[in-house]
Amino acid sequence: MSRLAVGGLVAHFFTGGAPHPHEIRDMSLTGLYVVTTERWYPGTLIRMTLTRTDVGQSIADRSITVQSKSVRWGNDGVGLEFVFAPPKSKRDARSPLDSVDSAELEAFLKRVVNPKR
């Protein structure tokens, strides 16, 4: 999957105050670009929840929490690379704090990029 513009998808992350939605300019299976005034150093790990805001699914069906790593800055935001957990078949127990694996993110993107309205 190449980079896609994903209207209606936002990122929430904690920066010390209440999290608020940040536009996702584009996204692929390897990373995303978030429109924000934050400027994290390259290599900084950021846990964020991606949520589709314009569909009627339950919050659990239209959200996923991912671990990402800052890789670059732009004039209007930050480019991030996803940091994936090992595939489910290679993990023991799963904690709610674990990062998702690439298959879980791909399934989420297929669900939210072309949602059934």
Name the DSSP letter for residue 48.
E
Going by C-alpha positions, the residue among 44, 53, 45, 55 that lies closest to residue 11 is: 53
**Whole-model pTM?**
0.80
Q: What is the pLDDT of residue 91?
A: 52
Instruction: Report pLDDT digits (tens) over 42-59.
Output: 999 999 999 888 766 666
The residues with which 97 forms a beta bridge, in sequence order, are none
- Do 79 and 71 meet the contact criterion of CB atoms below 8 Å apart? yes
Q: Give CATH superfamily name and number for 9-112.
A: predicted glycosyltransferase like domains (2.40.10.220)
Low-confidence residues in the chain, pLDDT < 50: 117
CB 93 within 8 A of CB 85: no
